[in-house]
């Protein structure tokens, strides 16, 4: 872990593939630097037993110092409405957020508007924020239109947030690689 630098508020994007260690890295990074921590969870338990187990494991992995807010869609509004109520927000994960909107049949224009709203919120937050997302552009081209739409929207979302976050870290095999900052 890097030393605490005193540059606040922190605006960081943590990217990585599935099971790369990006969430663990982000949680540990936040835990050693902040006392008042809010975990913003975008994953929903929709009755899938396997997903419910994943959610339970995520909850158990966080120490007691975390407050959790669950929000599948309105991340920008949630952050803006709670700004100043904690030192830092950890949003995990933007990729699931995009999936939630796709599964509710949001058109691309509405998803893009939500992303731009989140970008504006991140720029204006007085609290620090660490955003976690999957890097989905390193794999095969999906063979379905929905898969390609998801990949394109997720990649575009990551680009928009990387532009406004002074710190961007890529995690592979649990190892962080600083891309920006």
pLDDT in tens, 122-163: 999 999 999 999 999 888 899 999 999 999 999 999 999 999
- Give me the helix-helix angle, 94-103 and 145-164, nearest 10°: 140
Provide the token pair at 87: 């030192």
* Sheet of 175-180, strands arranged across: 66-70, 37-41, 88-92, 128-134, 11-16, 167-172, 175-180
**Residue 82 catalytic?**
no
Strand 37-41 to 88-92 pairing: parallel
pLDDT at 5 exceeding the cut of 60: no
At the fourth CATH level, the homologous superfamily of domain 22-180 is P-loop containing nucleotide triphosphate hydrolases (3.40.50.300)
Would you state the pLDDT for residue 1?
38
C-alpha 157/C-alpha 179 separation (Å) is: 17
E-strand spans in 47-127? 66-70, 88-92
**Active-site entry in 58, 77, 82, 151:** 58
Residue spans per domain, the chain: 22-180
pLDDT tens digits, 47-63: 777 777 776 776 666 66
Q: How many CA atoms lie within 13 A of 132 on its CB side?
A: 28
- Would you call 90 helix, strand, or coil by DSSP? strand
Would you state the pLDDT for residue 4?
44
- Read off the pLDDT band of 7 (50, 70, 90): low
State how far the alpha carbon of 21 is from the alpha carbons of 7, 17, 61, 134, 172, in Å.
24, 8, 13, 11, 7
State how far the alpha carbon of 103 is from the alpha carbons of 38, 84, 93, 128, 147, in Å.
26, 32, 16, 29, 12
């Amino acid at each position: 872990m890097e030393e605490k630098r005193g540059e606040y508020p922190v605006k960081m994007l943590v990217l990585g593939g599935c099971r790369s260690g990006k969430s663990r890295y982000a949680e540990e990074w936040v835990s050693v630097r902040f006392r008042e921590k809010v975990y913003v969870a975008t994953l929903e338990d929709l009755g899938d037993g396997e997903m419910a187990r994943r959610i339970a494991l995520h909850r158990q992995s966080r120490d007691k110092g975390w407050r959790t807010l669950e929000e599948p869609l309105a991340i920008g509004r949630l952050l803006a409405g709670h700004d100043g109520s904690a030192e830092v927000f950890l949003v995990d994960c933007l990729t699931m957020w995009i999936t939630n909107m796709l599964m509710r049949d949001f058109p691309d224009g509405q998803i893009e508007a939500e992303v731009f709203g989140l970008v504006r919120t991140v720029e204006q937050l007085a609290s620090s924020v660490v955003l976690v997302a999957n890097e989905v552009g390193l794999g095969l081209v999906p063979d379905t239109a929905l898969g390609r739409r998801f990949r394109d929207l997720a990649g575009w979302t990551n680009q928009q947030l990387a532009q406004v976050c002074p710190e961007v870290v890529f995690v592979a095999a649990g190892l962080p690689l600083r891309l920006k900052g």
